[in-house]
Amino acid sequence: MIIQLHHPSSKETVDEAIQFLEAMGLSCRHVSTPDSTLLVVYAGQLQDPRSVRRCPGVSDVHHISDEFKLVSSQWKQGRSTVKIGGNNFGPKSFHSIMGPCSVEGPEQLESVAKFLVSQGVSFMRGGVFKPRSSPYSFRGMGFEGLKLFRQVADRHGLSIVTEVMEVAQIEAMASQVDVFQIGARNMQNFNLLEAVGKSGVPVLLKRSMSGTIEEFLHCAEYVYNVGNDKIILCERGIRTFEGAYRNTLDVNAISYLQARTHLPVIADPSHGVGLRRHVVDVGLAAVAAGADGLLVEIHPRPDSAVSDRDQTLYFDQAAHLIEGGRKFRALREALMH
């Protein structure tokens, strides 16, 4: 159950409401986001559910059967919009987030940024801390790379999406990034989730390669639970028996998630299929299934990219996907509404 209080509510009202609920045998957690004051009831049973209506400061009561609460579409109907810089992520917009797997240096960044601006794209991705399967692979340029990335992004008016891998990096990164990416391997790193939540910076949370939808949504709940409602979910492919391609983009998840959560859902066809030749097709399939955006790896010279070169698109392919994504999205909207 979520008890929604009037927003904003004074500390006294919140304390009074918590005492009222505790006296009824309920345990709850107070969550404040920029536009709501909530008490999430996570334990206890009521004899008469109507009695919570007498809770001090109450504006609405939502009964939720899902185990995750704040990210559930059972309390917040309709789709949420996440504001990032001057852009909105959500039902009324479609965004591509593109850039290299790894930040490699100023020329590469400059070339990608120019391309994105020429295509009307507002978000640039690029990893400076890279989770790599082998400790001998290139593991990112670190803070030096982030500084370069910020300079180039600012020069071109772009927002930055980059992965944070550990709690200790958050403070120094928070003022430099527009969106923290939590990578697939860290989906269930609960300490990291809570800490990025507390930073207040928008979060792009990737599903892990073997994470169920239920687990994925519980992870998003960790971020929301500390008051950060700026969350974008990303389906990036799961591991199946199929070995012909790197992963299998779970198109089902894109449609299904939209029914279970109010959060925006995007897809990453680059990691989702892992083969350049198929990234555009799979990306368009994700948009057809309802994705609110795409996260895609591109590079001025994909064949010499230091990481993920087999799935990295050339600019002309990226341009097709950007245009196709917008058209598929518009077609979907025309059909659905």
- Taking the least distance from each CB to Mn ion, the nearer of 40 and 128 is 128
- Taking the least distance from each CB to ligand PEP, the nearer of 230 and 236 is 236
Q: Using the structure block, give the residue that is written with the tokens 């341009």.
A: 319
Tokens of 44: 């206890």
As measured in angstroms, the least distance from the Cβ of 127 to Mn ion is 7
Instruction: Check binding of 101 to ligand PEP (CB under 6 A).
Output: yes
- How far is Cα of residue 246 from the mean position of the Cα atoms in its chain? 22
Instruction: Check binding of 188 to ligand PEP (CB under 6 A).
Output: no
- How far is Cα of residue 258 from the mean position of the Cα atoms in its chain? 13
As measured in angstroms, the least distance from the Cβ of 243 to ligand PEP is 17
Q: Among candidates 289, 303, 299, which has minimal Cα distance to 249? A: 289
Task: Collect contacts of 88-94 with beta carbons under 8 A, ≥24 apart.
Answer: 89/232, 89/264, 89/266, 89/292, 89/293, 90/264, 90/292, 91/264, 91/292, 93/292, 94/287, 94/292, 94/293, 94/325, 94/326, 94/329
Whose CB is nearest to Mn ion?
A: 101
Tokens of 158: 């772009």
- Which helix (H) or strand (E) segment is 23 a member of? helix 11-23
- Rounded CA-CA distance 93/40 in Å is 30
Q: Which stretch binds ligand PEP (CB under 6 A): 16-24, 30-38, 182-190, 193-201?
A: 182-190
As measured in angstroms, the least distance from the Cβ of 23 to ligand PEP is 45
As measured in angstroms, the least distance from the Cβ of 182 to ligand PEP is 8
User: What residues between 206 and 265 interact with ligand PEP by CB under 6 A?
Assistant: 206, 236
- Taking the least distance from each CB to Mn ion, the nearer of 41 and 128 is 128
User: Residue 188: is it exposed, middle or buried by C-beta count within 10 angstroms (0-12/13-18/19+)?
Assistant: middle
- Taking the least distance from each CB to ligand PEP, the nearer of 127 and 197 is 127
Instruction: Check binding of 131 to ligand PEP (CB under 6 A).
Output: yes
Instruction: Check binding of 140 to ligand PEP (CB under 6 A).
Output: no
As measured in angstroms, the least distance from the Cβ of 322 to ligand PEP is 18
- Taking the least distance from each CB to ligand PEP, the nearer of 189 and 228 is 189
Contact, 51 vs 24, CB < 8 A?
yes
Q: Which of 57, 90, 99, 127 binds ligand PEP (CB under 6 A)?
A: 127
**Helix, strand or coil for residue 68?**
coil
Q: Using the structure block, give the residue that is written with the tokens 């917008």.
A: 326
- Rounded CA-CA distance 71/121 in Å is 28
Instruction: Check binding of 183 to ligand PEP (CB under 6 A).
Output: yes
As measured in angstroms, the least distance from the Cβ of 292 to Mn ion is 21
Instruction: Check binding of 141 to ligand PEP (CB under 6 A).
Output: no
Contact, 265 vs 257, CB < 8 A?
yes
- Which helix (H) or strand (E) segment is 38 a member of? strand 36-43
Q: Which of 260, 271, 299, 329 binds ligand PEP (CB under 6 A)?
A: 271
Number of residues that bind ligand PEP (CB under 6 A): 9
- Taking the least distance from each CB to ligand PEP, the nearer of 58 and 249 is 249
Please choose which of ligand PEP, Mn ion, none residue 284 contacts, taking the beta carbon within 5 to 8 angstroms, the exact cut-off set by kind: none
- Taking the least distance from each CB to Mn ion, the nearer of 38 and 294 is 294
- Rounded CA-CA distance 320/280 in Å is 8
- Taking the least distance from each CB to Mn ion, the nearer of 221 and 308 is 308
Q: Using the structure block, give the residue that is written with the tokens 């001057």.
A: 86
As measured in angstroms, the least distance from the Cβ of 272 to ligand PEP is 9
- Rounded CA-CA distance 129/214 in Å is 28
Tokens of 65: 């059967």
Residues that bind Mn ion (CB under 5 A): 101, 308
User: What residues between 26 and 85 interact with ligand PEP by CB under 6 A?
Assistant: none
Binding residues for ligand PEP, rule: CB under 6 A, are 101, 127, 131, 183-185, 206, 236, 271
